[in-house]
Structure 1
Amino acid sequence: MNKNELTGVVADKAGITKAQAADAVDAVFEAITDTLKDGGDVRLVGFGTFAVSRRKASKGRNPATGAEIDIPASNQAKFKPGKGLKDALN
């Protein structure tokens, strides 16, 4: 499912227009992104938790040349599914 399909499903389930659903989906994504940027976690009970994981700098190899390269430290978004989501899938 892509963002347009998600927007269509939200519009149908909520009984709103696709434009309103697109605004709502964009607002949710923006809220999650802003919270993660500020170093916080987003916990949606029964669904899951979005959190930031900090990766240390490391060394790697260029697969084409074999040359060693430096991989800088970075922040990565992580998602851990909640019990409700796990139960729904199993």
Structure 2
Amino acid sequence: ASDIVEYILDLLKSVLQKGEPVKIAGFGNFMVRSKGARKGRNPRTGQEIGITPRRVVTFRPSQVFKKYVNP
């Protein structure tokens, strides 16, 4: 079973690296979003720091999955 999970995760990673969405019926969608550069603040010192642009993975659960979690 762990081989199957590893295979699915590797497949998920390779598709997301290309910037393509992954849709799993009855579960949800994984997408890659680009976030621009912005200014942040160090909470300890209050010093302003620059946050570089990056890509992040987002997940949006399907309605079926939401109903399963909140019956």
Q: TM-score, normalising length from structure 1?
A: 0.74
Alignment of 1:1-90 (within 5 A): 21-90=1-70
Q: Secondary structure in 2 aligned to 1:31? A: helix
Q: Which has the higher contact order (CA 8 A, sep 6+)?
A: 2
The structure with more radius of gyration: 1
Q: Which is helix-richer, 1 or 2?
A: 1
| Runs of 4+ residues deviating >3 angstroms | none
Q: Which is strand-richer, 1 or 2?
A: 2
Q: TM-score, normalising length from structure 2?
A: 0.92
The 2-side partners of 1:63 and 1:47 are apart by 36
Instruction: In structure 2, give the amino acid aligned to 1:22.
Output: S
Structure 2, unmatched stretches of 5+, are none
- Number of equivalences: 70
1:29-74: CA deviation from partner (whole Å, max 9, x where unpaired): 1111110000101001111000001111100111111111000011
Q: Secondary structure in 1 aligned to 2:23? A: strand
1:8-36: CA deviation from partner (whole Å, max 9, x where unpaired): xxxxxxxxxxxxx1111001111111100
Structure 1, unmatched stretches of 5+, are 1-20
